[in-house]
Structure 1
């Protein structure tokens, strides 16, 4: 696993180990990454991630929607 630095205060930025900025396109991808970055080394439940990303308007198929975001983030 590659270490990255996620900067949440001020402009949202993700940096690779060399310090170069890595683009994370889309508000939902950034929300997913921020939620995970706030809980380093801990398990974050699906329900908590769905609430963080979609709030009061979760998708009908939240399991697949969240899995799709995780897959995109890994790429």
Structure 2
């Protein structure tokens, strides 16, 4: 499954919360850092063709993905800039 397929699945199955204005960013991360980002308003995806299985290679701890919510795309970019 690619990052795009993952976010398409989450949208289709309504796993992502509906947020007023629908202009948020969802950041997919694992132990190696950011793996993809989905912008709900524009439906743009950063790293859409990255394969989830490949993101787990080399991780010896429990495999883990998390979604971080950013209340606007700008908030995502500010957080990324300040890291």
What TM-score results when the alignment is normalised by the length of structure 1? 0.29
What TM-score results when the alignment is normalised by the length of structure 2? 0.27
Of structures 1 and 2, the one with the larger relative CO (CA 8 A, separation 6+) is: 2
Task: Kindly indicate which of the two structures has a greater share of residues assigned to strand.
Answer: 2
